[in-house]
Structures are given as C-alpha cells and as structure tokens.
Amino acid sequence: MTRHWITLGVGCLLLAPTAVAQARHDPLNATEIDELRDTALEPDKRLKLYVQFARARLDNMEQARTDPKVTDRGQMLHDRLQDFLDVYDELTNNVDNFANRKSDLRKPLKFVIDADTEFDAKLRALRDAANVPKEEASKYEFVLTNALEALESSTQDHRDLLAEQEEAFKHKKPPKE
C-alpha cells in the first residue's frame, strides 16, 4: 500500500510542470501565430509583425483604460501590459536570433527603433497619469516598471546593433550579378 502512495506521489510530481506549462497564457492568437510562422525566415516582415502585435496590445490597454464598463481596471491593465511585455520580449528575441544569423537588419531595426520610441511614450503616459487611483495603479505598477526597463534596455541594444550593422555593411562588397 505504501508503495502505491509513493508511486502516486512521484507521478504527481512529474506531471506538475506540465500542468503549470498548460496554464500559461499565450498573448498571441492563432492568426498571429500563423502569420509569424509564414515569415520565419524573413526578418523584415517578421519584426514588423511583432511591432504590429505589440502596438495592438498597447492599443487594447488604452481602450481598457478609458472603458467605463471595466470593473477591475487595475487587473485588466496589468494583464494587457503583461501581454505587451511578452510580445515585446519575443520581438527582442527575434532581433537577437536574426543578428546571430548575420541577417541584414538595418531596415527593420529602424522600424523597430521608431516603435520603441512610440511604446516608451505610451508607457510613460500611463505611469504619469495623474487621475489614477493608487489602489488601481498598485495592481499594474510592477509590470509597468518591468516593461519600461525592458524597453529602455532593448532600445539601446537595438540602436547599438543598428550602428554595428551599418558599419559592417558599409565595408561589405555588394554581390555580383
């Protein structure tokens, strides 16, 4: 009988990580995932899609922020900010992956850096909003701080990578036709 309980306990421990992994929320919907899958080897298109998806998450956040029907605005803003942060982290990971493959990212990086500036302005506007009750703001303050820090760090990385690539491709000979 004791052996049965031990086996059951070990089985539960082995299944616990699977249950946690299944509970994870994916910020992308099926259509967005399909679009990304179609652009897996095209950095220009793929990075623009990630910017588009991140922008949509911030737009959803703004709608939730001004929607009078929302009952738990603080939690909803937290969730929308977390979705933005997850998508933005994926954008940054994709930039790194394409850079490691020595892809030419000069054009899409300019687009990404412009979006970084836009995202930063929207997040700072949320942080600096004067009419937000403290109880509401406390629900999303931590994720907002994380998003601002990730954005600041990534923006600098994006600018540095663009400068590196412009220098590297300046000295590279064009392909012969």
- Per-residue pLDDT at 21: 46
Q: Which residues contact 109 (CB under 8 A, 6 or more apart)?
A: 47, 95, 158, 161, 162, 165
Is residue 138's pLDDT more than 50? yes
Q: Which of 21, 141, 147, 148 is nearest to 75 (CA)?
A: 141
- What's the whole-number mean pLDDT along residues 118-143? 90
- 84 or 16: which carries more pLDDT confidence? 84
Show the tokens assigned to 136.
């509401």
pLDDT value for 23: 57
Type of residue numbered 134: K
Residue 5 confidence (pLDDT): 53
Per-residue pLDDT reduced to its tens digit, 1-11: 556 555 445 45
DSSP result, 25-86: PPSS-HHHHHHHHHTTT-HHHHHHHHHHHHHHHHHHHHHHHH-TT-S-HHHHHHHHHHHHHH
Confidence of residue 173 (pLDDT cuts 50, 70, 90): low
Q: What percent of the chain has pLDDT over 90?
A: 63
| CATH class for the domain made up of 27-170 | mainly alpha
Domain chopping of the chain, boundaries: 27-170
Average pLDDT over residues 161-171: 90
- Return the structure tokens found at 127: 């942080």
86-111: pLDDT as tens digits? 999 999 999 999 999 999 999 999 99
d(CA 88, CA 49): 11
116, 158 Cβ separation under 8 angstroms: yes
pLDDT tens digits for range 49-59: 999 999 999 99
84: part of which helix (H) or strand (E)?
helix 73-100
The distance of Cα 20 from the centroid of its chain, to the nearest Å, equals: 21
Identify the pLDDT of residue 19: 47
- pLDDT computed for residue 65 by the predictor: 85
Q: What tens digit of pLDDT does each residue of 11-51 get? A: 555 555 544 444 567 889 899 999 999 999 899 999 999 99
> What pLDDT is stored for residue 15 in this prediction?
54
